[in-house]
Structure 1
Amino acid sequence: MKTIAATAAVALGLWASVAAAQTPPPEDPALTAYLREKARGAVGATRYTAAITPDGATTLVYLTGPNWCGSGGCQLLVLSREDDAYVSIGEISVARAPIRLLEQQTHGRRDLGVYVVGGGITEGYEAAVPFDGRRYASNPTVSPAVRVEDAPGETLIRADEQGRLLEPAPDKP
């Protein structure tokens, strides 16, 4: 009986950690304000999926919708929280989910893994996008980003996530 109880406790703990890893962060008014400003004048709906790195230092925001996506992918914002506001430390122009946080680091920040396909690239692959000390590289299809295979890391934004609809500011139509 103790073995069954112990097994159930371990299984419940594993389920809880998986569920927590897949739960999006709660709505953050500062992030919503940042995204509304970024999307000002956007045509069509904007959806976003946000993830916070395990150290809490970086927020990744994957934007989808007609203003953010093209044949090569969608836009990934890399943000740093400074007091009550967000500051951009990178905008990756042609990214596709899954978005991963790789174990390798460049200039003190972990590289980002983004999937690259489309826009003329027919064989998809994962690219490691490095940090240069100030910003993340903006295009995962050219240097300094590099193609990687089986790089250790963790998925922060899954390909099957629909994201949240970015509602206009309450005082806007």
Structure 2
Amino acid sequence: MSAFSSRYWVSARPLAAAACVFGVMTATLPEAHADDIRALRQSPPCDSKFLTALQISDLKQQLRVAYNLPAPSEATGKDDLDQATIVLSVGTLRPKHRDVIAYILSNSFCGTAGCATTILADRDDRRLAYPVFRVLTARTVVHLPITKLPTQHNGWPDLTVQIAGGGILQGYAAPAYFNGTTYTVDQSIHLGTITNGHSPKQGVPLLRDAPPAVGQCLLQ
């Protein structure tokens, strides 16, 4: 399986007309995602308690490369990423690391299967000032919540993600494992139904609509 593989975690090219499995990127943000944005904007800002200015700058650059974003608009000087709502989970994956999960919401990054999600690892060599991050998993689409389980594979924690959309009427939680290169989802395992935004499998919430999880912050 490929990065957060399975047909539920699919490539999310940030173009309004781009199609994804179980949903089409539409010109109008689905109302469900508009509700998500309103809730996620209650997250605390990603200030220096979470990331330095250098880390934020590099994180955005890594996201732009990962999603192959076109040059900023001549009219506005902004690109698709600048116009998106981005919520992060910072320092919640590995002890003593500032790894990041980035959840990106906008017309260009969301479909009925969810919104674009990227996992970035901080570089192990602390002597490197720049770049700060490397993309571990990108171009994926998922619904919140994302939680961390007490088990792990290859030094990275197991996660749960919500599988929903594209004909799946009742979302359910499925496990995601790190295979040594990237995360993969085993959608054949149903861990239970998502109820009121909570995963049925006991774990630590990393990203959720409300209330904000520990380590969750609003980048923009």
> Could you say whether these structures have the same fold, taking a TM-score greater than 0.5 normalized by the shorter chain as the test?
yes
Give the number of aligned pairs: 140
* Number of the residue aligned with 2:63: 38
Supply the distance in 2 between the matched residues of 1:145 and 1:49 (Cα, whole angstroms): 28
- Matched residue SS, 2:190: strand
* Deviation of the 1:144 alpha carbon: 6.7
Q: Relative contact order, CA 8 A, sep 6+: which one is greater?
A: 2
Structure 1 residue 26 and structure 2 residue 50: aligned? Answer: yes
Supply the distance in 1 between the matched residues of 2:139 and 2:168 (Cα, whole angstroms): 17
Q: Specify whether residues 154 and 97 from structure 1 end up closer, same or farther in structure 2 by C-alpha distance, changes over 3 A only.
A: same
Structure 1 residue 157 and structure 2 residue 182: aligned? Answer: no
* Deviation of the 1:27 alpha carbon: 4.0
Do the aligned residues in 1 keep the contact of 2:62 with 2:133 (CA within 8 Å)? no
1:4-48 Cα offsets, whole Å, 9 max, x none, are: xxxxxxxxxxxxxxxxxx755534332333324524434371111
- Which is richer in strand? 1
1:143-162 Cα offsets, whole Å, 9 max, x none, are: 37733233221011122369
Which of 1 and 2 has greater Rg?
Answer: 1
- The TM-score normalised by the length of structure 2 is 0.55
- The farther-off stretch of 111-120 and 38-47 is 38-47
* Number of the residue aligned with 1:66: 107
Do the aligned residues in 2 keep the contact of 1:31 with 1:86 (CA within 8 Å)? no
Do the aligned residues in 1 keep the contact of 2:114 with 2:143 (CA within 8 Å)? yes
Supply the distance in 2 between the matched residues of 1:37 and 1:56 (Cα, whole angstroms): 21
Q: Specify whether residues 37 and 104 from structure 1 end up closer, same or farther in structure 2 by C-alpha distance, changes over 3 A only.
A: closer
Do the aligned residues in 2 keep the contact of 1:115 with 1:127 (CA within 8 Å)? yes
Provide the alpha-carbon RMSD of the alignment.
Answer: 2.6
Equivalent residue letter for 2:86: Y
Identity of aligned residues (%): 21
Supply the distance in 2 between the matched residues of 1:145 and 1:76 (Cα, whole angstroms): 21
- Matched residue SS, 1:31: helix
Supply the distance in 1 between the matched residues of 2:116 and 2:122 (Cα, whole angstroms): 19
Supply the distance in 1 between the matched residues of 2:151 and 2:62 (Cα, whole angstroms): 32
Supply the distance in 2 between the matched residues of 1:73 and 1:105 (Cα, whole angstroms): 25
Q: Report 1:1-173 matches (<5 A).
A: 26-28=50-52, 29-39=54-64, 40-41=69-70, 42-43=79-80, 45-51=83-89, 52-53=91-92, 55-57=95-97, 58-82=99-123, 83=126, 84=129, 85-91=132-138, 93-137=140-184, 140=185, 143=186, 146-149=189-192, 150-160=200-210, 163-165=218-220
Do the aligned residues in 1 keep the contact of 2:62 with 2:134 (CA within 8 Å)? no
Supply the distance in 2 between the matched residues of 1:111 and 1:148 (Cα, whole angstroms): 13
Equivalent residue letter for 1:88: V
Supply the distance in 2 between the matched residues of 1:37 and 1:90 (Cα, whole angstroms): 11
Do the aligned residues in 1 keep the contact of 2:174 with 2:187 (CA within 8 Å)? no
Supply the distance in 2 between the matched residues of 1:62 and 1:43 (Cα, whole angstroms): 14
Equivalent residue letter for 1:66: N
Supply the distance in 2 between the matched residues of 1:122 and 1:90 (Cα, whole angstroms): 27
* Deviation of the 1:106 alpha carbon: 2.0
- The TM-score normalised by the length of structure 1 is 0.67
User: What 5-or-longer segments of structure 1 have no aligned partner?
Assistant: 1-21, 166-173
Do the aligned residues in 1 keep the contact of 2:174 with 2:189 (CA within 8 Å)? yes
